[in-house]
Structure 1
């Protein structure tokens, strides 16, 4: 039995939750994963997994084994990655998931610098605002705004960003300028929903020790950050957008900041990855580059 392959298969099953999904991420037949786990349990003389027709759960012995195997595989991968990196530059493809606005406005414009440093790495970049499953979709790392609550994932905070409430000069000339958050209830606003068919996010405000969410009856709700920005610039209503996404428009005078004394609290940004990805050399250098990119941006650096 290939013990390393069996350990890796076991880890994938635990994290994916089913043999089928684990086999997909390993790109091997389900029968191969089943055989590896059965041989591993037979060799260890202990049951690691409870199997039913609907799900797979870890036994108490399996949970202990999982934690120890994770450390062992991570150490092994680190040794191999370090040795490979010493011999040549990182190469190969990586699959990265990024929110639309961060990908469009931050990552893509800076990727030329990354490729100059690492010309042999290819990036498959998924842009969107849906919550992806790293394990089942074969994603090496993802950038997430907000708190991270997924189990079995490593999360490193790489930055944070604030929000700015704003509108066009033409809109303010037509509707007036609000002096307090409650006045937004009487003005046209544009809402953003993080997923298709979901509920629009509340506008958030913080002033001294006062914090609150303001649910509004928006005249327009969109599920795409580019469309959200476009709606604000088209004078369709007041928007509350990440500061890094509107700073150019504010500098150009096409958007005007509102309620500047009521700034929402900063939102953390994390890079996340599954422990069984082991941070290979190609993923490691990409994450290091992302961290430096955020640190150089005054609107995204970690607070």
Structure 2
């Protein structure tokens, strides 16, 4: 049995934490996956995985094997890219997992540019706001909003969001423009309801050493950011949301930022992939494309 292929199967089992999910990802039978792992264990003379009906975990030898196998597979991908010229022509299926707001506003409108550059790639994009452990899902590359805790992934930050206050131009003409966060008590404000807690999300402000957190007393609270933006654009009041969601309405003139000198940093946007995939041509070109895409946003801000 091809030991390099067996190592690739082993890494996939570890990263997906499942024999059956690895079989699905690699389009192999469960029996074939089992045979690959058994072949490696016979060859090395050690047990690589602890397996029960409910749990799968690496042994100490398995952990060492996984670390070395990642580097070995990465070197092989780099060698293949160099000799076969696949850096210029990435091929195959690229599975992407992305939050709704990023897909709708940024990624989906740009996919035609990406596929025009790389016509030999087939994209399978999963759009979801269900934040599951990335090893549980099928995918090659993930985009995430927020601070990252999973050290087993390679991550590149591509965008730093901001918390921005905005209102419709007509609303500001009729009611005036707040000069400080304290002025907001005189204005109708719109609140975002946190989907997990059911509570209105506090607004944050920062200027120099001054840090302010304030929760508006409002007659309108909505748990859907896009609906909240539509309400603000219609003149219902001032809203504070992430620049990630607000950028299109600001650029189109539907909303005007206020209190810009009090804006605070929001969560970052990152693109992630497994260590063993870091030199893959299809991963590399997608990560570079996303970095370029969000750099364009920064230039427009």
With the length of structure 1 as denominator, give the TM-score of the two structures. Answer: 0.83
Q: Normalised by the size of structure 2, how large is the TM-score?
A: 0.83
CA-CA distance at 1:134 after TM superposition: 3.9
**Matched pairs, number:** 299
Following superposition, which runs of at least 4 residues in structure 1 exceed 6 angstroms of deviation? 173-176
Give the whole-Å Cα distance in 2 for the aligned partners of 1:102 and 1:217.
30
**1:10 offset after TM fit, Å?**
1.8
Kept in 2: contact 1:135–1:274 (CA 8 A):
no
Query: How far apart, CA to CA, are the structure 1 residues paired with 2:70 and 2:12?
Result: 11
The DSSP-based 3-state class of the residue aligned with 1:265 is: strand
Superposition deviation, residue 154 in structure 1: 0.8
1:278, CA displacement in angstroms? 4.3
Find the counterpart in structure 1 of residue 223 from structure 2: 222
5 Å matches for 1:73-222?
A: 73-85=73-85, 89-171=89-171, 178-181=178-181, 187-191=188-192, 193=194, 201-215=201-215, 219-222=220-223
Indicate if the aligned counterparts of 1:95 and 1:125 stay in contact, CA closer than 8 A: yes
Aligned pairs (5 A) from 1:253-268: 253-268=253-268
Superposed displacement of residue 171, structure 1: 4.5
Deviation at 1:68, TM superposition (A): 0.8
1:231-270 → structure 2 map (5 Å cutoff): 231-243=231-243, 245-250=245-250, 253-270=253-270
Question: How far has the Cα of 1:203 moved from its partner?
Answer: 2.7
Name the CA shift for 1:217/1:55 in 2 (closer, same or farther; >3 Å). farther
- Partners of 1:213 and 1:81 lie apart in 2 by 51
Larger deviation: 168-177 or 21-30? 168-177
Distance across 2 between alignment mates of 1:245 and 1:44: 52
| Structure-2 separation of matches of 1:200 and 1:23 | 44
SS of residue in 2 equivalent to 1:6: helix
Q: Which moved more, 1:178-187 or 1:64-73?
A: 178-187
Q: 1:135 to 1:81 in 2, by over 3 A?
A: farther
Measured in 2, the distance between the counterparts of 1:9 and 1:260 equals 51
CA distance in 2, matches of 1:71, 1:198: 45
Instruction: For residue 96 of structure 1, give the secondary structure of its aligned residue in structure 2.
Output: strand
SS at match of 1:271: strand
Confirm or deny: 8 A CA contact 1:25 1:135 kept in the other structure. Answer: no
Aligned-CA RMSD value: 3.1
- 1:127-157 Cα offsets, whole Å, 9 max, x none, are 3333254444322212222212124211012
Gaps (5+ residues) in structure 2? Answer: none
Hey, what does 1:286 align to over in structure 2?
A: 286
Distance between the aligned counterparts of 1:212 and 1:268, measured in 2? 21
1:110, 1:35 → 2: CA distance?
42
1:18 equivalent to 2:18? Answer yes
- What displacement does 1:72 show? 0.6
Which sits farther off after the overlay, 209-218 or 144-153? 209-218
CA contact (8 A) 1:95 1:123 kept: yes
Q: Does 1:53 align with 2:61?
A: no
Structure 1: segments with no counterpart, 5+ residues: none
